[in-house]
Amino acid sequence: MTSETSMRRSTTLIACLATLAFAALASFRGDSAPAEATLEEHAEEQAADEHGAPAEAEKPHMRAPIGVDLYVREDAWLRAPGPEWFKKQSDLQPGRFTFNEEGGDGEGEWVDAQNVYRLIYDEEEDVYAYWSWAGPEQLTRGRQDFLQFCSSCHGIDGDGYGRSGQWLRPSPRSFHQSNFKFTKVIQPLPTDAALMRLIKRGLEGTPMLPWALSDEQLTDIIQYIKYLSPEGEGWRDPFTGVGDVVESGEDTWVGKEEYAIERGKRLYHDPSGANCALCHPGYVNPSALGKLLGDDSVKARESYYLPVLKDSAYEVQGQPVKIMPPDFTWHQVRAGTTTQDLFETIASGIKGTAMPQWKGALTDEDLWALAHYVESLINDYKGKPDARAEFMKGLREAK
């Protein structure tokens, strides 16, 4: 071995060390994120946020779980499939599970590969509640997908305050509030199927896009979203109703749409009908209102042709936000503009806002009429500035 070969080693050595030192550096984990952060810890941080922790210390947008082992505790409880399912399971293995709706001894537990399902009975209220524990694997997958796809708007903690969600009104949903606007269900909370439909469809005119994720991914994300409910609220209160999708039935006005529109128009403006014009704009000239309703005592509110900003149950960083009822000739209706969509939206109401659930308060026939009327407004004027200007001019001019 000549001297020259070994001389060259110094260069090689230094390169080698640089590589090694870099590997060491790269494997070193920074202090920007807790290494083994559990969801509880995140929840605690979240709680600290809400109690006015200084912004400098927290920086909600910067808590990024780089290299964090995703770990979810085991007793996350979520809604189970429903009574039919429990019946079937108790038939399969009656010893482990009893289901007797009449007898009141419907309590029991069922464990399968994924989850633990439990049914309980509240004697005072005489209601059953059932829920399951989503398995940690499923929640972890759901959390991964949530972080990857949803967190830019809905926040890393699901608090509806992601970086891209800033300044958006209406703001992205906070999953700590257990309130969902466009669920199209009767009960306060939507079913998995309803949520999945919503995510797949998106909300028109917002950055909530139709998500091209697989059903499996969406199921996991939905389980995780449900898990984000605060303890004892929403999905984590066993007795809060999880509703069924509004049944629309058949459109009763097929072939008679003009009558439907006329009827809808009256209902829309009638204070003793649906009274939509209380918040949404009125679409008749105030002076012609009496004539339309056949009752001269009806008076239009101020600025009848504009919507009224309404309070909502939604908060952004603890601050309640107001919600604007749409002007159908102008704004994009979020949950779809087909007659069917409009029917479902009116029937189920928009949870957490001033828009109540009309199913039950109005007959299906009336609901369809309203849907037809709103649809006609959208079709005739939305996106047609000239037609709309003409129309609005007619509304404003005193007759």
Residues numbered 189 to 248 that lie near another protein (CB under 8 A) are 205-207, 209-214, 216-217
The answer to whether 64 contacts another protein (rule: CB under 8 A) is: yes
Which residues, other chains included, contact 26 with Cβ-Cβ below 8 Å and sequence gap of 6+? Answer: none
At closest approach, how far in Å is the CB of 273 from another protein? 23
Residues 309-348 that bind another protein (CB under 8 A): 309, 316-317, 319, 321-322, 324, 327, 330-331
The answer to whether 147 contacts another protein (rule: CB under 8 A) is: yes
Identify the helix (H) or strand (E) that includes residue 198.
helix 192-201
6 or 272: whose CB is closer to another protein? Answer: 6
The answer to whether 125 contacts another protein (rule: CB under 8 A) is: no
Question: Is the separation of the CB atoms in 219 and 81 below 8 Å?
Answer: no
Question: Is the separation of the CB atoms in 197 and 246 below 8 Å?
Answer: no
Q: Are strands 108-111 and 310-316 parallel, antiparallel or unpaired?
A: unpaired
The answer to whether 48 contacts another protein (rule: CB under 8 A) is: no
Task: Please state, in angstroms and rounded to a whole number, the distance separating the CA atoms of residues 362 and 350.
Answer: 16
53 or 389: whose CB is closer to another protein? Answer: 389
Task: Please state, in angstroms and rounded to a whole number, the distance separating the CA atoms of residues 310 and 197.
Answer: 27
20 or 111: whose CB is closer to another protein? Answer: 20
The answer to whether 275 contacts another protein (rule: CB under 8 A) is: no
Task: Please state, in angstroms and rounded to a whole number, the distance separating the CA atoms of residues 391 and 384.
Answer: 11
Task: Please state, in angstroms and rounded to a whole number, the distance separating the CA atoms of residues 89 and 390.
Answer: 63
Position among 37, 70, 354, 395 found at the interface with another protein (CB under 8 A): 70
At closest approach, how far in Å is the CB of 210 from another protein? 7
The answer to whether 158 contacts another protein (rule: CB under 8 A) is: no
Amino acid identity for residue 80 in this structure = A
For the residues of 117-152, what is the DSSP string, one character each? Answer: EEEEEETTTTEEEEEEEPPHHHHHHHHHHIIIIIHH
- State residue 245 phi and psi, 5-degree precision: -65, 140
At closest approach, how far in Å is the CB of 115 from another protein? 19
Could you give the string, one character per residue 375-394, with x where binding to another protein holds by CB under 8 A and - elsewhere?
--------x-xx-xx--x--
Question: Is the separation of the CB atoms in 140 and 70 below 8 Å?
Answer: yes
101 or 137: whose CB is closer to another protein? Answer: 137
At closest approach, how far in Å is the CB of 197 from another protein? 18
The answer to whether 144 contacts another protein (rule: CB under 8 A) is: yes
**What residue has token string 């007619």?**
394
31 or 102: whose CB is closer to another protein? Answer: 31
128 or 283: whose CB is closer to another protein? Answer: 283
Q: Please identify, among the stretches 56-64, 78-86, 88-96, 268-276, the one whose residues bind another protein according to the rule CB under 8 A.
A: 56-64
At closest approach, how far in Å is the CB of 372 from another protein? 24
For the residues of 243-286, what is the DSSP string, one character each? Answer: PPBPP----TTTT-HHHHHHHHHHHHH-TTTT-GGGTSPP-S-H
176 or 263: whose CB is closer to another protein? Answer: 176
272 or 319: whose CB is closer to another protein? Answer: 319
Q: How many residues bind another protein (CB under 8 A)?
A: 83
